Structure 1
Amino acid sequence: MDFLSDFLTLFLAKLQSPTLGFLIGGMVVAALNSQLQIPDAIYKFIVFMLLLKVGLSGGIAIRNANLAEMLLPAVFAVATGILIVFIGRYTLGNLPKVKTVDAIATAGLFGAVSGSTLAAGITVLETEDIFFEPWAAALYPFMDIPALVTAIVLASIYTSKQKSLSQQEPFGKQESLSKQSVAAGGYPTTRQEYRSQQRITAGGYPRKQNDRVKIWPIVKESLQGSALSALLLGLALGILTRPESVYESFFNPLFRGLLSILMLIMGMEATARIGELRKVGQWYALYALVGPLLHGFIAFGFGMIAHHATGFSPGGVVLLAVIAASSSDISGPPTLRAGIPSANPSAYIGSSTAVGTPVALALGIPLFIGLAQVLMGS
């Protein structure tokens, strides 16, 4: 009952938070057919500012940390972020009527990290006098950035394959192929049917076995994209320079206001595509309910290995699990919108803010603290 009460309390509080409030406001404005428009140039500037700020804060935290002590937990953070994306790609992405690009974007958002959830976890640990390494909070970019990059690369590979298959279909056979029985989501019902479609080329000849999508050009293009470039630039500047003065006087004060405008834009766009989410909303709700706890348990297991191998503190293990259970509300949405423009923001933002974040806050944090106390005696 206490978990349920805390969940409902935090869920209602989340509805009143500025971030979610502006998101809902944008959805309402769009639903009322308002003529309000935010110029695209302003949107791009806001995204640049937010991602540069996130990168700077992460770089500063890493520069001030003990890199030797961080090594194994950082490797586990990277592995967790990537693993979460693959789990979502092959679970949520295979559910009926769920579009693969939407599933990948949702998994990317859940693999990325929420700064507010991390702050909440730190606050609870400090309140209960549970020790954690001062650099533990700096683990978030190690999970956040790889998850976002992995999601963008997977989406690029998938869309490239889809385009390749459509271009290789013989003229006059597209109509007959479209009439074949396919599973929900547009996939062939049998493995043989799928393979037979893959082998067709524009001239009607079997497709070559080594005709695969090259991954490195996609990775390179992803890293050169505006969103990830801003994030990585901020990270590099935070590590290699000392931007604390400009960070505290310029970037930090503007952060919440810019984020609010961004969420307003996201809300307007989400409403424009809400019809697509209604068809599969139950699957996203289920994923957002189970995913945060599953992701947190995976990271907790990695943290236990680091605890026994290097003495990683129980509080650090908890924070690693908390950031894995969180879903990004800052760097994730704009990065995914820029990197996977074909994905529906209603899917990944709605499942994260409406279900995922309250689950991580109300259930995840106390659950992982309790596990740490039982298993490691923190």
Structure 2
Amino acid sequence: MIDPVILFFLLGAIAGLLRSELRLPAAIYEFVSIVLLLAIGLKGGIELAKQPFGSLLPQMLAVVALGFFLALVAFPVLRYLGRFKRADAASIAAHYGSVSVGTYAVAVAYLGSRQIAFEEHMPLLLVMLEVPAILVGIVLARGLSRETRWGSIAHEVFLGKSIVLLLGGLLIGWASGPEGLSSIEPLFFDLFKGILAIFLLEMGLLTATQVGTLRRYGPFLVAFGIGMPLFSALVGTGLGWALGLSIGGTVILATLAASASYIAVPAAMRISVPEANPTLSLAAALGITFPFNVLVGIPIYHALAVWAHAFAKG
């Protein structure tokens, strides 16, 4: 049986491809994305309050290293196999070293529907994975130049909507605890899947807008948009196992590694690497990788996590 949130994504994609008049008002999409980001942060913050910070530090550092590594792997593939211009290769690589909050939310819903537990501090790791690839992308595109507008970039990255809402939610959840959040639980927790369904409806509509770009830029972008997530998921699965995460936690980390940003990184690249073609990055991240992960990728990463834990046990 297909999860209904996936069907909402398919509805949006099909409606977009058929050029339906269906559109989600901008204000509604903004509200839905805000609630989704806060809900993820609040859930993580509740769990964060139960654990000493020192026990999470190794995982946080490992995830930062993962972000650097994935961007550095993606760049030469795009530059020398795909023959993209340096700026475009660096920008796309940054997208694939970072993370998609929407994909994370789908993975959470996937595990929840199967009653598979995972470490609730994963939103903290999500936040940690947002930033490293952006820095790598800028350096790969420009080098360590004095002309780089680091102040503007830092403002866009650390004070962008996604980071502020995720971190804010983490802090509120950490400070309030489950008892303090009980009064707002109906909106942020009980309605999480419904909010996610509306979000995915809009994501389906946006995905359909990238089809024309993919036709123009050929099969390499399609192959990269599927091959890179699979490679990244393998790395994420291995790291999850090495860090001692549960099967559910390993699935989440593999999904984070396999996802590609379409919110934070495009904004940062627009400021720091304006010569890069944003259409290429969004076509790959939103037109290929996001639907691949949502429709077939997450079950694959689940199977990988189960296999890795079974193999480790001998």
TM-score by length of 1: 0.63
8 Å contact 1:292–1:325 — kept in the other structure? no
Q: 1:37 to 1:120 in 2, by over 3 A?
A: closer
- Distance in 1, matches of 2:199 and 2:240, equals 34
8 Å contact 2:35–2:188 — kept in the other structure? yes
Q: Which moved more, 1:21-30 or 1:105-114?
A: 105-114
Counterpart amino acid of 2:254? A
The alignment partner of 1:137 has SS state of coil
Name the structure 2 match of 1:322: 251
Deviation string, structure 1 residues 203-251 (Cα, Å, up to 9, x no partner): xxxxxx9544143541233211223222221111112223431442221
Sequence identity (%): 22
Name the structure 1 match of 2:302: 365
Name the structure 1 match of 2:9: 23
Name the structure 2 match of 1:60: 46
- Distance in 2, matches of 1:264 and 1:123, equals 19
- Distance in 1, matches of 2:24 and 2:100, equals 27
Count matched residues: 300
Q: 1:368 to 1:331 in 2, by over 3 A?
A: closer
Residue 72 of structure 1 is aligned with which of 50, 58, 82?
58
Counterpart amino acid of 2:202? I
8 Å contact 1:322–1:365 — kept in the other structure? yes
The alignment partner of 2:24 has SS state of coil
Match status 1:138 vs 2:120: yes
Deviation string, structure 1 residues 114-141 (Cα, Å, up to 9, x no partner): 2443565688896xxxxxxx8x623422
8 Å contact 2:71–2:137 — kept in the other structure? no
Match status 1:283 vs 2:220: yes
Name the structure 1 match of 2:26: 40
The alignment partner of 2:119 has SS state of helix
Name the structure 1 match of 2:198: 261
Name the structure 2 match of 1:179: none
- Distance in 2, matches of 1:23 and 1:345, equals 17
TM-score by length of 2: 0.74
- Distance in 1, matches of 2:29 and 2:129, equals 23
The alignment partner of 1:138 has SS state of coil
Q: 1:22 to 1:62 in 2, by over 3 A?
A: same
Name the structure 2 match of 1:104: 94
Name the structure 1 match of 2:311: 374
Q: 1:296 to 1:56 in 2, by over 3 A?
A: same
Name the structure 1 match of 2:176: 241
Tell me how far 1:254 sits from its aligned partner: 2.8
Q: Which moved more, 1:211-220 or 1:91-100?
A: 91-100
Q: 1:288 to 1:276 in 2, by over 3 A?
A: closer
- Unaligned 5+ segments in structure 2 are 271-277
Note the 1:325-340 alignment, pairs <5 A.
325-327=254-256, 333=262, 335=264
- Distance in 1, matches of 2:267 and 2:4, equals 23
In angstroms, what is the RMSD of aligned CA positions? 4.0
Counterpart amino acid of 1:249? P
Tell me how far 1:304 sits from its aligned partner: 5.8
